[in-house]
Amino acid sequence: MDALLVLFAAAAFGGVVLLPWLRRRRAAQQFRLQGPPQVSDPVAGYGFVPLDALDVRLPGPDEELEHALAEIRRTHDWRPAAALLRATPEDDERRWQRVQTLAGAAAFDLAREQDDPDAASGAPRSGGVWLRRWRLEAPKDAGGAQTHAQFLVLQALRDPGSEDFRMILEEARTVCGEAALLAPGSPVPYVIELAVARGLHDRPADYAELWEKVARRAPHHMGAHLAALPYWSQKWHGSREEAEAFAERAASGAPTGTLLPALPLFAVYEHLPEANMVRGLYRSAVIERAIEGAHYALREAPADHPMAPHVRHLLIWFLVRAERYGEALEQLREVDGHVGAVPWSYGHSPAAEYAAYRALAVAGWERSGGTATGGIRPE
């Protein structure tokens, strides 16, 4: 069941997590090998959500989405999902996130059934049926097409070594094309296709052409930039220099109020060494500059920016490793309760990964003289 929860958590941040989620989580493994301090989960006194109540589906609260998911689970009907997306503008970054999560819900249900021995014995099957009905009963609904395309990406990535992997991704690309025709000005189909193109190993020139389609529609879309970044990384079809250059261009050209100045932090994370042999790596000038860029982006962007929780979660990871515990606690207080984000989604148990770093932040804060009741003060 833990693997299924990871699938659902990955879907919440599909453009960044989808393919990296399937590889070995290098930094977290290193951290575990080093042996994190044995500290209890610090719920009492800090107002944090207990480990077993952390929500792995979403990076931050979205009451409308949570209500739609509950209705789908209760009724197996696609209409709550369609209504939610109709009320979400195509250029709103919430739409892309909601499409990711709805697709993840369908994939989660289907995967749970496929892994359930009772399903093979003739028990009623409901996983993913609501999405199939959505496409059959409302074939011209752009939200249904977008969700279907993302669902296919998730299905392919359940088994990237299978013979069907490429065929399913090609089908996803076809559905992305259908979704683009149904909502011509929407960036969402093209953002989904970024993951498809990466998995199909598109040539750099073709990928750049696809990126231009995204950029023309949503030049400052943080989620789109995060979805595109891995293609130019060393693990895929580029290099550390190319990924960092992409991130720096986006950050330096971003207008005030966007979260793009935080993009270099994600580029740094993608290229951390497998084994950290450098003392003080997380206090180096490169990482400190990336951390400050993320802080700046969060200060200048609207407080309710839908991508802000993603930035905060990764910032927590870096701040704890840099032993900047007071700052880490400030970010924890903003996002606590939801853990569907990088870097936690790279692990087999996102909630446990997050809770371990939360405990380290509290332990470090208290070692420096901080208290739960004394608030956050400079270290």
Q: Rounded CA gap, 366 and 349, in Å?
A: 26
CATH number at residue 74: 1.25.40
> Same domain for 304 and 326?
yes
Six token digits for residue 49: 């959500």
Q: Which of 218, 236, 261 is the last residue of a domain?
A: 218
Q: Same domain for 32 and 79?
A: no
The answer to whether the pTM exceeds 0.95 is no
DSSP-assigned letters across all residues of 94-118: HHHHHHHHHHHHHHHHHHHHHT-GG
Per-residue pLDDT at 39: 46
Question: Based on the structure, what is the number of domains in the chain?
Answer: 2
- What whole-number distance in Å separates Cα of residue 104 and Cα of residue 107? 5
Range of the domain at 76: 63-121+128-218
Which of 278, 322, 265 lies closest to 16, judged by CA? Answer: 265
Please tell me the predicted confidence (pLDDT) of residue 149: 97
Question: Is residue 136 domain-shared with residue 254, that is, in the same domain?
Answer: no
Q: Are 109 and 128 in contact (CB under 8 A)?
A: yes
Question: Which two structure tokens, joined as six digits, stand for 365?
Answer: 């804060």
Within a domain: 3: no
pLDDT of residue 204: 96
pLDDT tens for the chain, 379 residues long, are: 444 444 555 554 444 444 333 333 344 444 444 444 444 566 668 889 999 999 998 999 999 999 999 999 999 999 999 999 999 999 999 999 999 999 999 998 887 766 665 544 444 444 579 999 999 999 999 999 999 999 999 999 888 888 899 999 999 999 999 999 999 999 999 999 999 999 999 999 999 999 999 999 999 999 999 999 999 999 999 999 999 999 999 999 999 999 999 999 999 999 998 656 566 888 899 999 999 999 999 999 999 999 999 999 999 999 999 999 999 999 999 999 999 999 998 878 999 999 999 999 999 999 988 877 655 444 4
Do 207 and 258 lie in one domain? The reply is no
Read off the DSSP letter of residue 262: G
pLDDT at 32: 43
Q: Quick one: 294 and 349 in the same domain?
A: yes
**Do residue 135 and residue 234 come from a single domain?**
no
Residue 50 lies in a domain: no
The confidence score (pLDDT) of residue 118 equals 57
Residue 52 lies in a domain: no
